[in-house]
Amino acid sequence: MKRGRISQQGIVFVIFAALFAAFAFLLPGFASTQNMLTLLQNVAVLGILGLGMAIVVIGRGVDLSLIATLAVPPGLVLQMVQDGHSFSGSLAAALLLTVAFGLINGWLIAYAEVPALFTTLATGLFLAGVGQALLFNLDVVQWSDGMAGFERLGQGTAFGVPMPIIVFALACVGVAILLRQTRIGAYIYAIGDNPYGARATGVPTRPIVVLQYVLAALIGCLAGLVMASSVNSMPTRIFNSTWIYDVILVVVLGGIGLSGGRGGVVNVVIGTLLIGTMLNGMTIMDMSYSAQNLVKGVVLLAAVIADSFLNPRNEETAQQGDI
Amino acid sequence: MEALARLRYRLWPDHLLGEILSKRWTETAIPVIVLIAVAIALGRAIDGFFSIVSLADQARQAGEIGFVVLGMALVVIVGGIDLSVGSMFALCDFCALFCLDILNLPVAAVFVITLLFGATLGAINGFLIGYLRLRAFITTLITLIIYRSAYDLLIQDYSNRIAASFPDFPSWNFVGGGELFGVPSVALVYIVIAVFGHVFLTRLRPGWHITAIGGSRRSAYNSGIAVRRTIALCYVASGALTALGAVFFAARLGTVGGDVGVGLEVTVLTATVLGGISLGGGKGSVAKALAGTLIVLLVTNGLTTLSVRGGFNRMALASILLVAAIIDIRWLKNRTRIISKVYVSPTYHYLPPPPSTEIGGGGPFEQNDKLRDVTLIGLGRIEAPEDVILDRHDNLYAGSRHGDIMRFLAPDYEKMEVYAHIGGQPLGMAFDRQDNLYCCIGGMGLYRITPDRKVEKATDETNRSIYSVNDDSRLRLADDLDIAPDGRIFFSEATVRYEMHEWPVDGLEARGNGRIVCYDPNRNTTRTVLRGLKFPNGVCVASDGQSILFAETFGASINRYWFDGPRTGEVEVVIDNLPGYPDNINLASDGNYWLALVGMRSPVIDLAWRMAGFRRRMAKRLPLDEWLFPNINTGCVVKFNEKGEVLESFWDLAGANHPMITSMREHRGYLYLGGISNNRIGRYKLENADPNFVQYDKRWGRA
Mind giving me the DSSP string for B425-467?
EEEEEEE-TT--EEEEEETTEEEEE-TT--EEEEESB-PPPTT
Give the CATH number of the domain where residue B376 resides: 2.120.10.30
- Cβ proximity of B539 and B428 under 8 Å: yes
A232: left (phi over 0), alpha (psi -120 to 50) or beta: left
What domains can you pick out in chain A, each with its CATH number?
9-19+34-307 (1.10.3470)
What are the phi and psi torsion angles at B132 (to 5°)? Answer: -85, -10
Residues B181 and B255 occupy one common structural domain: yes
Residues B386 and B489 occupy one common structural domain: yes
Which of B340, B362, B392 lies at the terminal end of a domain, its last residue? Answer: B340
Q: Indicate the angle between helix axes A243-254 and A265-284, nearest 10 degrees.
A: 120
Largest CA-CA distance found in chain B, in angstroms, rounded: 109
Closest partner CB to B142 (pick from A113, A125, A297): A297
Residue of B nearest to A252 (CA): B138
Say whether B481 sits in a helix, a strand or coil: strand
Write out pLDDT tens, residues B590-648: 999 999 999 999 999 999 999 999 999 998 888 888 888 888 878 899 999 999 999 99
Give the CATH number of the domain where residue B243 resides: 1.10.3470
Closest partner CB to A296 (pick from B145, B156, B330): B145
Residues B299 and B391 occupy one common structural domain: no
pLDDT at B702 over 90: no
Interface test with A, best of B72, B127, B128, B135 (most A CBs within 10 A): B135
Indicate whether B362 belongs to any domain.
no
Residues B172 and B238 occupy one common structural domain: yes
Which of B324, B340, B356 lies at the terminal end of a domain, its last residue? Answer: B340
CA angle B404, B408, B412 (to 5 degrees): 165
Question: C-alpha distances in angstroms, A133 versus A130, A139, A238, B118, B315?
Answer: 5, 10, 16, 38, 9
Residue of B nearest to A321 (CA): B280
Indicate whether B358 belongs to any domain.
no
Indicate whether B693 belongs to any domain.
yes
Indicate whether B52 belongs to any domain.
yes
Could you give the CA distance from residue B473 to residue B465 in angstroms, rounded to a whole number?
A: 7
Say whether B377 sits in a helix, a strand or coil: strand
> Given this model, what pLDDT does residue A278 score?
83
Q: What is the pTM of this model?
A: 0.75
Indicate whether B364 belongs to any domain.
no
> Given this model, what pLDDT does residue B200 score?
92
Closest partner CB to B326 (pick from A114, A304, A315): A114
Write out pLDDT tens, residues A261-305: 888 899 899 889 888 888 888 888 888 888 888 888 887 788 778
Write out pLDDT tens, residues B394-420: 999 999 999 999 999 988 899 999 999
B182: DSSP letter: T
In chain B, what are the helix, strand and coil shares in percent, each to the nearest 5? 45, 20, 35
Residues B291 and B379 occupy one common structural domain: no
Contacts of A164 (CB under 8 A, 6+ apart): A40, A41, A44, A45, A153, A154, A226, A230
Question: C-alpha distances in angstroms, A114 versus A111, A171, B274, B323, B331?
Answer: 8, 29, 11, 10, 12
- Cβ proximity of B494 and B503 under 8 Å: yes
> Given this model, what pLDDT does residue A1 score?
41
Could you give the CA distance from residue B486 to residue B521 in angstroms, rounded to a whole number?
A: 10
Closest partner CB to A117 (pick from B263, B279, B319): B279
Indicate whether B231 belongs to any domain.
yes
Residues B333 and B377 occupy one common structural domain: no
Could you give the CA distance from residue B696 to residue B47 in angstroms, rounded to a whole number?
A: 78
A290–chain B Cβ distance below 8 A for any pair: yes
How near does any CA of chain B get to the CA of A122, in Å? 5
CB neighbourhood size of A237 (10 A): 12
Residue range of the domain that includes B583: 370-458+471-699
pLDDT band at B51 (very low <50, low <70, confident <90, very high): confident
Residues B59 and B197 occupy one common structural domain: yes
> Given this model, what pLDDT does residue A316 score?
55
- Which of A178, A63, A156, A175 lies closest to A109 in space, CA to CA? A63
Could you give the CA distance from residue B465 to residue B531 in angstroms, rounded to a whole number?
A: 10
ipTM value of the model?
0.79
- Is the CB of A121 less than 8 angstroms away from the CB of B266? yes
Could you give the CA distance from residue B638 to residue B594 in angstroms, rounded to a whole number?
A: 6
- Which of A16, A49, A12 lies closest to A248 in space, CA to CA? A49
**Region B527-537: what's the mean pLDDT?**
93
**Residues of B with CB below 8 A from A291's CB?**
149, 153
Residues B322 and B379 occupy one common structural domain: no
Write out pLDDT tens, residues B414-473: 999 999 999 899 999 999 999 999 999 988 999 999 999 999 999 999 998 888 888 888
How near does any CA of chain B get to the CA of A125, in Å? 6
**Residues of A with CB below 8 A from B281's CB?**
320-321
- Cβ proximity of B507 and B524 under 8 Å: no
By the 10 Å C-beta count (0-12 exposed, 13-18 middle, 19+ buried), A230 is classed as: buried
- Which of B520, B538, B511, B498 lies closest to B609 in space, CA to CA? B511
CB neighbourhood size of B490 (10 A): 23
Residues B152 and B290 occupy one common structural domain: yes
- Per residue of chain A (323 residues), give pLDDT as tens: 444 556 777 877 888 888 888 888 888 877 788 888 878 877 888 999 999 999 998 988 888 899 999 989 988 888 888 888 888 898 999 999 999 999 999 999 898 888 887 788 889 888 988 888 887 777 778 877 777 777 777 777 778 778 888 899 999 999 999 999 999 999 999 998 888 888 899 999 999 999 999 999 999 999 999 988 888 888 877 777 778 878 888 887 788 877 778 888 998 998 898 888 888 888 888 888 888 888 888 877 887 787 777 666 655 555 555 55
Residues B499 and B546 occupy one common structural domain: yes
Dihedral of CA A16/A17/A22/A23: which sign?
Answer: positive
Write out pLDDT tens, residues A143-154: 777 777 777 777
Residues B122 and B217 occupy one common structural domain: yes
- Looking at residue B142, its amino acid is I
Write out pLDDT tens, residues B91-117: 999 999 888 888 888 888 888 999 999
- Which of A265, A289, A229 lies closest to A55 in space, CA to CA? A265
Dihedral of CA B103/B107/B113/B115: which sign?
Answer: positive
A272–chain B Cβ distance below 8 A for any pair: no
Closest partner CB to B325 (pick from A114, A308, A322): A114
CB neighbourhood size of B20 (10 A): 15
Could you give the CA distance from residue A284 to residue A274 in angstroms, rounded to a whole number?
A: 15
B229–chain A Cβ distance below 8 A for any pair: no
HEC-encoded secondary structure of B22-76: CCHHHHHHHHHHHHHHHHHHHHHHCCCCCCHHHHHHHHHHHHHHHHHHHHHHHHH
Mind giving me the DSSP string for B485-513?
TTS-EEEEE--SSS-GGGHHHHHHHT---
Q: Which of A267-281, B16-30, B559-573 has the lowest mean pLDDT?
A: B16-30
- Is the CB of B310 less than 8 angstroms away from the CB of A133? yes
Chain A contacts in chain B segment 277-306 (CB below 8 A): 278-281
Q: How far is CA A254 from the centre of its chain?
A: 12
Q: Which of A108-117, B47-56, B557-566 has the lowest mean pLDDT?
A: B47-56
B12–chain A Cβ distance below 8 A for any pair: no
Could you give the CA distance from residue A85 to residue A88 in angstroms, rounded to a whole number?
A: 9
- Is the CB of A126 less than 8 angstroms away from the CB of B312? no
Number of domains into which chain B is organized: 2
How near does any CA of chain B get to the CA of A306, in Å? 10
What are the phi and psi torsion angles at B473 (to 5°)? Answer: -75, -30
Residues B283 and B422 occupy one common structural domain: no
> Which helix or strand (DSSP H or E) is residue B518 part of?
strand B514-520
- Which of A221, A246, A240 lies closest to A70 in space, CA to CA? A221
By the 10 Å C-beta count (0-12 exposed, 13-18 middle, 19+ buried), A105 is classed as: buried
- Is the CB of B279 less than 8 angstroms away from the CB of A294? no
- Cβ proximity of B239 and B118 under 8 Å: yes
B1–chain A Cβ distance below 8 A for any pair: no
- Which of B10, B307, B247, B17 lies closest to B112 in space, CA to CA? B247
